[in-house]
Amino acid sequence: MSDASDIWSRAALAVACFSVDPAGLGGIWVRARSGPVRDRLIAGILAGLPPMGLRRLHPNISDEQLFGGVDLSATLSSGKLVRSSGILGTPTAMLLPMAERATAGLSARLALALDAQSGHALIAMDEGAEPDERLAPSLADRVAIHLDLDALAVGDCPVLETDFDAITQARALLPNVQALPEALDTLTRLSARLGITSLRAPLLALRLARASAALMGETLVDEEDLTLAAELVLAPRATVLPQSETAEPEAEPEQQTPDTPTDPEDTTEQSERDMPIPEEILLEAVKAILPTDLLAQLTASKAPRRTASAGGTGAAKRGNRRGRPLPSRPGALDGEQRIDMVATLRAAAPWQPVRAKQQPDRTGLHIRPDDIRIRQFEEKSDRLLIFAVDASGSAAMTRLAEAKGAIELLLAEAYARRDQVALISFRGEAAEVLLPPTRSLVQTKRRLGALPGGGGTPLAAGLRAAMELAEQSKGRGMTPSIAVITDGRANVALDGAANRPQAAEDAQTLGRVIRSRDIPALVIDMGNRPQPGLKDLASTMGATYLPLPRADAQRLSTAVSVALDA
């Protein structure tokens, strides 16, 4: 583990390299909370920038500001077409604060600008507090330097000095810097061993190595430059620990004592392949700075993001494109929004005589920018509650009647909130959609009352039916949640065979699929005794688990409402 001053001196080198070739390196991603440490770094970066534009973006920046468009205020006041040029029109260093908040749309646009190689560079300041709150992967992939300064205190971080002469000389030298083909091979192989699939990484690493060589006043990339490139560009992107091919996957690299003879990596690496020596050196350098919690981070990032909270009414989206119209509001036209022509004219109308007196030579309507009204819509997606009810023999014996009662109570509640409900039952060999999504209370009650019991427990088939229904309803703009009500003794596999282990495995697999589709779920155990297997299934699905050994319909209903509204 490298200590604070190491991190800071590496950051200083990164900033210097970035100053040499900002556009080539694409940018810097700084992950740090707002504070003096970050301020010092940003000050250093800005001081070293070549004479190019510097613009501050914000996560909700409009297309108009990015790409340019009609300058409406100027157009209206002068009466002829005036266009404004956007930020992306000229080579610019773009400072993006709160980078973790940038939407997929903005990230895609910025990624496009970086791809165009027209001289843009991005300085992304990421203040994300949670591991999964971070710069969009599409952008992270395109900026060379990733710095994580969260662990630093301001005392560790002296003010960055910018050596303008060295940087100017390095910029002049950069086009002449050569890299041996072996250097390129080494970086590519190394990134493959670190599990970096993107091919942008070795390219960016090579560019960083060139910048570093230029900074040293050399015209050939040497080992030192490659090491720096590996540390700054490749190490933060690593997704596997380099020795994981043979060692235990859980084994943390022994970074404090890399020379310990018992360390498995030494033996494996030497026997593994005949590597050129520099690659091993680079690998050591990278390993030395790999975060100790890499594995924890990996599992965190593998688990799908669960952004949507389970339940409540469907997500309300306030937008300006469709949905229920809201009152228009004053606003500037930015090419994104739709103008409410009538409201705009209405706002302008009272002023016409006054304005006509002010500008007697103009004919037609006098409309000023502040008259413009923008349309707004609010869209609320319907919540859909999918009940997957176990109607097998074992369940029927115990509490099917109670489950029915609970569902009826929930139905009444759903009716009051205008939610939609769907009903799936599984028994015997397969699952059946008894009722497609509906708001009809009567119909649901009737189907539910007639729900027959008996047969095996094809839990996996029930889960699959529920998931398919959820996916379909998502496509139709609904927000689905799944409530599985079962006693958990899955004994019929997906193919309909009575095979208990296979049935359990199929159920687990489907649980994972449901989780990966990000569908909120709830597992209600109506067995006489809570089933540990069901609890596992619930955690696989990312679902809330509710054991209800002695619940009546009223308590079941309350529990479901609480869990779904949480």
Q: Which residues bind another protein (CB under 8 A)?
A: 63, 70, 72, 75-76, 79-81, 103-106, 108-109, 111-112, 115-118, 137-138, 141, 179, 181, 184-185, 187-189, 192, 197-203, 206, 321-322, 333, 335-339, 341, 364-365, 367, 464, 467-468, 475, 477, 494, 506, 509-510, 513
Please identify, using beta-carbon distances, which residue of 13 and 108 lies nearer to another protein. 108
DSSP, residue by residue, 179-230:
--HHHHHHHHHHHHHTT---THHHHHHHHHHHHHHHHTT-SB--HHHHHHHI
Q: How far is the CB of 566 from another protein (least distance, A)?
A: 25
Least spacing, CB of residue 543 vs another protein, in Å: 17
CB of 111 to another protein, least distance (A): 8
Q: How many residues does the chain have?
A: 566
Instruction: Give the containing element (helix H, strand E) for 68.
Output: strand 68-70
Q: Which C-beta is closer to another protein: that of 111 or that of 147?
A: 111
Q: Which two tokens stand for residue 313?
A: 């009414």
| Residue closer to another protein, measured from CB, 155 or 304 | 304
Q: Which is nearer to another protein, 424 or 563 (CB)?
A: 424
Q: Name, in order, each residue with C-beta under 8 angstroms of 482's C-beta and a sequence gap of 6 or more.
A: 386, 388, 466, 467, 470, 514, 519, 520, 521, 522, 543
CA distance to 70, 74, 114, per residue, from 84 (Å): 6, 9, 21
Q: Specify the 3-state DSSP secondary structure of 526.
A: coil
Residue 214, CA atoms < 13 Å, CB-side half-sphere:
25
Residue 95 CA to residue 122 CA, distance in Å, equals: 6
The residues, any chain, with a CB within 8 Å of residue 290's CB and separated by 6 or more, are 235, 238, 241, 253, 255
- Asked if residue 432 lies in contact with residue 390, where contact means CB atoms within 8 angstroms, the answer is no
Identify which of residues 28 and 201 has a Cβ nearer to another protein in the complex: 201
Residue bearing tokens 């030494």 = 266
Minimum distance from CB of 340 to another protein (Å)?
11
Query: Which residue type does 286 have?
Result: V
Taking the complex as a whole, the smallest distance from the CB of residue 509 to another protein amounts, in Å, to 6
- Beta carbons of 496 and 400 less than 8 angstroms apart: no
Structure tokens at 147: 């710095």
Least distance between another protein and beta carbon 131 (Å): 17
Query: Collapsing DSSP states into helix, strand and coil, what is residue 44?
Result: helix
SS3 148: strand
CA distance 134 to 111: 15
Minimum distance, C-beta of residue 292 to another protein, in the bound complex (Å): 26
Nearest to another protein of 90, 292 (CB atom): 90
The alpha carbons of the chain give a radius of gyration, in whole angstroms, of: 31
Q: In the complex with another protein, which residue's Cβ is closer, 322 or 418?
A: 322
Which residue, 1 or 112, has its beta carbon nearer to another protein? 112
Distances in Å between the Cα of 224 and the Cα atoms of 17, 79, 229, 278, 429 are: 13, 61, 9, 10, 66
CB of 322 to another protein, least distance (A): 6
DSSP letters of 234-249? IGGG--S-TTTTTS-T
Beta carbon nearer to another protein, 202 or 520: 202
Task: Name the residue nearer to another protein (CB basis): 406 or 507.
Answer: 507
Q: How far is the CB of 542 from another protein (least distance, A)?
A: 16
CB of 325 to another protein, least distance (A): 14
Listed as own residue / partner, the contacts of 365-369 with beta carbons closer than 8 Å and 24 or more positions apart are 367/76, 368/76, 368/77, 369/72, 369/73, 369/76, 369/77, 369/332
What kind and span of H or E run contains 92? strand 92-96
> Smallest gap, in angstroms, from Cβ of residue 138 to another protein?
7
Nearer to another protein, 42 or 61 (CB): 61
The set of residues, in sequence order, having a beta carbon less than 8 Å from that of 103 and lying 6+ positions away, is 59, 60
Q: Give least dist CB 344 to another protein, A.
A: 9
Cβ closest to another protein, residue 5 vs residue 178: 178
Calculate helix-pair angle for 277-289, 181-193, nearest 10 degrees.
50
Instruction: Give whichever of 62 and 539 is closer to another protein, judged by the CB atom.
Output: 62
CB of 469 to another protein, least distance (A): 12
Phi-psi region of 452 (alpha: psi -120 to 50; beta: other; left: phi over 0): beta
Least CB distance from residue 160 to another protein, whole Å? 28
Residue among 65 and 255 whose Cβ is closer to another protein = 65
User: Which residues make beta-bridge pairs with 407?
Assistant: none
Of 268 and 561, the one with the shorter C-beta distance to another protein is: 268
Q: How far is the CB of 304 from another protein (least distance, A)?
A: 9
With contact defined as beta carbons under 8 Å apart, do 211 and 24 qualify? yes
